[in-house]
Amino acid sequence: MNSRIIKALLKKDISLFMNNRFYMLITVVGIVFYIGIYFLLPSEVDEELSIAMYAEEVPEAFAALSGQQGINIGYFEDEESMTQTVLDGDYIAGISLPTDILDIWAAGNKPDITIYYPSAASTEVLDAIVALVKELSYAQTGQSINFDITQEILGADMTGNQINLRDRMRPLLVIFILLTEILTLASLISVEIEQGTARALFVTPMRISDLFIAKGVLGVGLALIQSILFMLLVGGFAHQPLIVLTALILGSIMVVGIGFLLSSVTRDVMSVTGWGMLILIIFAIPGFGATIPGLLSGWAKVIPSYYLTDTVNRVVNYSAGWVDVSANLAILAGFTALIIYAGMVTLRRRYQ
């Protein structure tokens, strides 16, 4: 390793980066865009009560609820599909009425009513739904407390810690910022190979390790600076900043590895952009999962970025600690090592 050579390569790449309008555009516009999106998203929670309901025979008082201002009722044909929509976040709660509820009431007994909540439901929502069921039961039977109630939380219990949309989007936006740098780095490398300047570098005393270090420092630097800036502006370091920083560093290194891989399998800037967009979409999927709880199933865990977005999501939105995310970080570090190694091997071949 020759620090003078690495410094010279880094200076050259920064100069090329600053002189290229495309790189500057996607970097500056990107970060402004993502920060803008965060602040444009609502910071308040929708006050309308959207309730899912399952009942073979809907009591008259419950049916009368439909159409009332501020209340949106969705009826389902089976309990499983109802709980799934609640889990997906489409409804703030699901009410399941026993099949023979009217007969139970007619016999003077108490039916067992089950209420399902998504994990992020607030205590106010829980209280409001229970109060509503009491009110409707009274309207139906003319008697108070004429039922037993079972409350079930779907997914992780986040009762009382409801998260607004823009905060839920932080993991998605930060992964977008990191992934954008794949395009920048891969384009820089691809142009060097395409224009033959890389060949000129290889007839100097520069070693390929010097080149990888210089490109790595540039890529990690660009990705990390932007992601840190974003997280600072959107309050992403309010809880356990070291964990978030660790995840961002690993994510930045992973992005460099992907950039190496992408530039080694593409021929020119156009193909870098095309394949890069595909990679960007795939790697952003876990970020959508963090934004919309229940969107993804287990298959998303095969995407390396899942362990980055899930870590960031759990730390910044759910106050997770080192113990909670250590497995995530270990897997992320493993994926990062694998990707950076594969990137260096394939890019080395391309250079040669």
Does position 197 interact with other proteins (CB under 8 A)? The reply is yes
Task: Tell me the window of 49-57, 58-66, 162-170, 196-204 that interacts with other proteins (CB under 8 A).
Answer: 196-204
CA-nearest of 279, 234, 228, 290 to 255 is: 279
Query: Is residue 205 at the binding interface for other proteins, with CB under 8 A as the rule?
Result: yes
Stretch near other proteins under the rule CB under 8 A, chosen from 9-17, 27-35, 67-75, 236-244? 9-17
5 binding other proteins? (CB under 8 A): yes
Any contact of residue 7 with other proteins (CB under 8 A)?
Answer: yes
User: Which residues lie across from 154 on neighbouring strands?
Assistant: 118
Measured from the CB atom, the residue of 167 and 210 that comes closer to other proteins is 210
Report how far apart, in Å, the C-alpha atoms of 309 and of each of 27, 38, 175, 232, 295 are.
20, 16, 7, 17, 14
Among 156, 200, 232, 330, binds other proteins (CB under 8 A): 200
Which one, 8 or 139, has the nearer CB to other proteins? Answer: 8
Residue 26 touches other proteins, criterion: CB under 8 A:
no
The rounded Cα 284 to chain-centroid distance in angstroms is 7
Burial 47-62 (b: 16+ CB within 10 A, else e): eebbbbbbbeebbeeb
Q: Is 199 in the site for other proteins (CB under 8 A)?
A: yes
Nearer to other proteins, 20 or 146 (CB): 20
Q: Residue 332 Cβ, how far from other proteins at the closest point, in Å?
A: 35
Nearer to other proteins by C-beta: 206 or 295? 206
Closest contact distance (angstroms) between CB of 8 and other proteins is 3
Instruction: Work out whether 19 is an interface residue with other proteins (CB under 8 A).
Output: yes
Site string for other proteins, 155-194 (x = CB under 8 A): ----------------------------------------
Per CB under 8 A, does 204 bind other proteins? Answer: yes
- Selected binder of other proteins within 63, 130, 149, 207 (CB under 8 A): 207
Four-point Cα dihedral 195, 198, 202, 205, nearest 10: 120
Among 1, 40, 107, 203, binds other proteins (CB under 8 A): 203
Q: b vs e for 123-135, b when ≥16 Cβ sit within 10 Å of the residue's Cβ?
A: eebbebbeebbbe
Take residue 202 and report the two structure tokens written for it.
């290889």
Q: How far is the CB of 10 from other proteins (least distance, A)?
A: 11
Of 19, 3, 8, 31, the C-alpha closest to 222 is 31
Residue whose CB is less far from other proteins, 150 or 204: 204
Cβ proximity to other proteins, 110 vs 350, nearer residue: 350
CA–CA distance, 341 with 7 (Å, rounded to integer): 23
Backbone dihedral region for residue 68 (phi beyond 0: left; psi -120 to 50: alpha; all else: beta) = beta
Alpha helices (H) along the chain: 3-19, 21-40, 60-63, 79-87, 101-106, 123-141, 165-168, 170-194, 197-201, 208-233, 241-265, 269-291, 306-316, 322-351
Kindly state the smallest distance separating residue 191's Cβ from other proteins, in Å.
9
Neighbours of 341 (CB within 10 A): 12
| CA 193 to mean position of chain CA atoms | 34
Binding site for other proteins (CB under 8 A): 2, 4-5, 7-9, 11-12, 15-16, 19-20, 195-197, 199-207
